Chains A and B, each alone.
Chain A
């Protein structure tokens, strides 16, 4: 399976199953499009006439395509289906990442919050240390031979339970050597409670910090308000700047959400850049279709344009020696995931789970509060093996719609929560999200190609 597209001066051909990426000229672009449906003679005759090109030159181009096919870099067959699920079967029962909901409460009252202001449609609660400790013990006990264990402190607002966060990290550090594990902690925060103590902790202990900022003040303050309705932008931006300055190059993301209010989110990215932030993520809002903040069909072309313009801006700034990172355009063509990872899906419900403040396990943070998806708890482990199996069976070949999609080995079948909310089934497909994802991949790969062609690619 191949995918052809062009963006600005770049004519791109992606070979889905080999992972091959080819930058081609217009003749090769058209030729590859015809390659499987016409003979060499027909193609040479057609293209030499269309491009006013010497037939010998077109024939040479044809031979180059044939060579790539021979080498398995073009039109590579999909031989992976039988492997789908193999990785999950091999690692059945192994858990390597937990999202700890240390606080189902929040000091902001953002109407677009997928977690309904941190409460996940339930009661306000904070996680006691004993529950968190049991969650870490559960993780270690079920992690098999995995050395790297990931724990995200999430909420609500996790800093509303900061002492427990600190105590849990201290506990994890006290056992990781003897258990042969390496904990990687991340913290996702709205910034309201950041102070010197938090900065010191985050920079010492957290391999990544995710900071919620939507960009322009008026956009941010439209949703991200306190319980008195006051916007939080003025309060958090200086705190984020201080934290990032002290971070000394360690990973962080400024993570924004764009909604129907700002499909032109590149303006928000520009504000983040102007504030001095360079590690950026901007996510489409997750909410019900009838929510006023939901992205609409009319927003789609605007968003698509933003993604293209974002790639152009990144290339321009990279050439100027002022690069910045966009999470969804990070793509390592030579060091990315292996095929097992690419066909086995995101890991939710199997190797990744979310833990509520009272110790219940859910397939991921986005399923918390959906009672029928409750897997078990941190004391008894997974008891609802049916739900776990549903998630284990989620892979790129489990979704009929993904079969013929060129991007399937870049997205791995998509987000089960998005699918569930859009279709009622974790094996469904959230088509709007797919369109955005494919556009992001086109832009990301074009950007990589442009940087490699300039000779300075990473």
Chain B
């Protein structure tokens, strides 16, 4: 019996290999302006995903 269902996620360890292009949106710039969170931002580097 399968007890665990693993969702599709971006592997963060793998993203260390080709991440860091810096093109993504600056945190909090366009919506909240008063609290930080980066999880809801999109990666802009289509080749690294």
Given that A90-B20, A340-B16 are known contacts, is A333 also in contact with B8, CB under 8 Å in the complex?
yes
Contact count band on A = 35 or more
> Which chain A residue lies CB-closest to B25?
A150
Shortest B40–chain A CB gap in Å is: 4
Which B residues are within 8 Å of any A CB, using their own CB?
A: 1-13, 15-16, 19-20, 22-45, 48-49
Bound-state CA distance A73–B48 (Å) is 19
Shortest A139–chain B CB gap in Å is: 12
User: Do B5 and A337 touch across chains, with their CB atoms under 8 A apart?
Assistant: no
The interface residues of chain B, by DSSP majority, are classed as loop
Q: Which of A125-133, A193-201, A312-320, A411-419 contacts B (4 or more CB under 8 A)?
A: A411-419
Bound-state CA distance A407–B34 (Å) is 18
Instruction: Say yes or no: is A99 at the interface (Cβ < 8 Å to chain B).
Output: yes
> Which chain B residue lies CB-closest to A257?
B34
User: Do A336 and B1 touch across chains, with their CB atoms under 8 A apart?
Assistant: no
The interface residues of chain A, by DSSP majority, are classed as mixed
22 interchain pairs (CB within 8 A)?
A: A24-B5, A68-B4, A83-B16, A99-B29, A114-B34, A208-B30, A332-B40, A333-B8, A334-B49, A335-B43, A338-B19, A338-B48, A339-B19, A341-B19, A342-B39, A347-B26, A366-B33, A411-B37, A413-B36, A418-B34, A441-B39, A444-B40
Contacts of B45 in A (CB 8 A): 338
Contacts of A351 in B (CB 8 A): 22, 26
User: Do A339 and B28 touch across chains, with their CB atoms under 8 A apart?
Assistant: no
Contacts of A331 in B (CB 8 A): 39-40
Interface residue from B7, B20, B28, B43 paired with A336 (Cβ < 8 Å): B43
Instruction: Say yes or no: is A427 at the interface (Cβ < 8 Å to chain B).
Output: no
Interface residue from B3, B22, B25, B32 paired with A94 (Cβ < 8 Å): B22
User: Do A415 and B36 touch across chains, with their CB atoms under 8 A apart?
Assistant: yes
Shortest A350–chain B CB gap in Å is: 10
Instruction: Name the residue among B12, B45, B49 with the largest chain A CB count within 10 angstroms.
Output: B12
User: Do A342 and B13 touch across chains, with their CB atoms under 8 A apart?
Assistant: no
Given that A65-B4, A339-B13 are known contacts, is A96 also in contact with B39, CB under 8 Å in the complex?
no
> Which chain B residue lies CB-closest to A453?
B5
Bound-state CA distance A27–B3 (Å) is 8
Shortest B43–chain A CB gap in Å is: 5
Bound-state CA distance A106–B35 (Å) is 22
Task: Give 1 or 0 for each of A427-444: 1 = CB within 8 Å of chain B CB.
Answer: 000000100110011001
Given that A19-B12, A146-B23 are known contacts, is A336 also in contact with B39, CB under 8 Å in the complex?
yes
Instruction: Say yes or no: is A327 at the interface (Cβ < 8 Å to chain B).
Output: yes
Contacts of A411 in B (CB 8 A): 36-39
Contacts of A17 in B (CB 8 A): 12-13
User: Do B5 and A342 touch across chains, with their CB atoms under 8 A apart?
Assistant: no
Contacts of A329 in B (CB 8 A): 40
User: Do B10 and A336 touch across chains, with their CB atoms under 8 A apart?
Assistant: yes
Bound-state CA distance A338–B21 (Å) is 9
Contacts of A245 in B (CB 8 A): none
Contacts of A19 in B (CB 8 A): 9-12
User: Do B20 and A338 touch across chains, with their CB atoms under 8 A apart?
Assistant: yes
Given that A19-B11, A19-B12, A448-B7 are known contacts, is A327 also in contact with B31, CB under 8 Å in the complex?
yes
Task: Give 1 or 0 for each of A50-74: 1 = CB within 8 Å of chain B CB.
Answer: 0000000100110011001000110
Shortest A143–chain B CB gap in Å is: 10
Contacts of A336 in B (CB 8 A): 10, 39-43
Given that A327-B40, A331-B39, A341-B19 are known contacts, is A73 also in contact with B6, CB under 8 Å in the complex?
yes
Bound-state CA distance A60–B9 (Å) is 24
Interface residue from B3, B6, B9, B39 paired with A25 (Cβ < 8 Å): B3
User: Do A415 and B28 touch across chains, with their CB atoms under 8 A apart?
Assistant: yes
Interface residue from B5, B12, B33, B37 paired with A437 (Cβ < 8 Å): B37
- Across the A-B interface, the 4 shortest Cβ-Cβ residue pairs: A338-B19, A340-B20, A346-B27, A415-B36
Interface residue from B10, B23, B37 paired with A333 (Cβ < 8 Å): B10
Instruction: Say yes or no: is A281 at the interface (Cβ < 8 Å to chain B).
Output: yes
B-contacting residues, A164-190, CB 8 Å: 186, 188
Instruction: Say yes or no: is A277 at the interface (Cβ < 8 Å to chain B).
Output: no
Bound-state CA distance A268–B39 (Å) is 24
Instruction: Name the residue among B11, B27, B42 with the largest chain A CB count within 10 angstroms.
Output: B27
